Amino acid sequence: MLAQEECAKAFVLALVRDSILPWTDDVRRSLAVHECKHLVTMIMEWLLDVNERRFEAIWNGTSPPAPAAHLPPDVATAMNIYRHELIERIGRRDSERCASWRGRARKLADGERDRRKQAALYVRIGHDGSLSSAPSESQQAYDEELVRTKALVRFAKDADRHCIFASREYEMFTELFAGMFRDHGPDGVPVVPAEKYDSGIPGIVFVKRAITCADVVNVEDAEPQDSAAA
């Protein structure tokens, strides 16, 4: 899992290099936050899957899968939580939290995977000095994580050398992610100032600001595609 987090850091740095993400103190500090890196690996896994399926189709001379019409719900949620919750929390500003930002991404943001990593690495001692828990991950779990790590390493290398076959999905992701950070100044201060208006209560001013979010579109909510146009 530690190697997977390093892959996430490499991907974030590639996005900074390509001017998708700004190199701010908050973004830099997010590279040390486990939950941020776990959310980034979720985005990477989606792009990796599409990337490798596209490459396989090209290699075999078969029809590639149709471009995605929208981001997968977990990916959109991961982007929203990373930008509007964790980055804002890192900068000690008011973070946004939406009820629809749930599912696997929410569990990662709440530390589920990091707790599993801790349990797999360390022996825990109880209050009385006795053994509380010991690493208990199975060989199967280890093998699965190794496969996942190798796949993320491949994608991090592909992103670093711009070897992206999932061009439509990658463009959809990067354009939106860049837009979500467009109001994020070098020192974390919003580039677009918030609108302030009187609350009618002495000493209290309401502040309203607009944020860019990824749409969380569930498959059952998506409009069916016209079969004739397919």
**Residue 225 confidence (pLDDT) above 50:** no
Q: Cα dihedral sign for 161, 164, 165, 167? A: negative
Q: pTM higher than 0.85 for the full model? A: no
**Residue 26 and residue 90 in contact, taking contact as beta carbons nearer than 8 Å:** yes
Q: What is the DSSP string of 12-59?
A: HHHHHHTTSS---HHHHHHTT-HHHHHHHHHHHHHHHHHHHHHHHHHH
**Residue 48 and residue 154 in contact, taking contact as beta carbons nearer than 8 Å:** yes
pLDDT of residue 198: 64
On average, the pLDDT of the chain sits at: 82
Q: Cα dihedral sign for 43, 94, 207, 188? A: negative
**Residue 23 and residue 15 in contact, taking contact as beta carbons nearer than 8 Å:** no
**pLDDT tens digit sequence for 140-187:** 877 888 899 999 999 999 889 888 877 889 999 999 999 999 887 666
**Residue 81 confidence (pLDDT) above 70:** yes
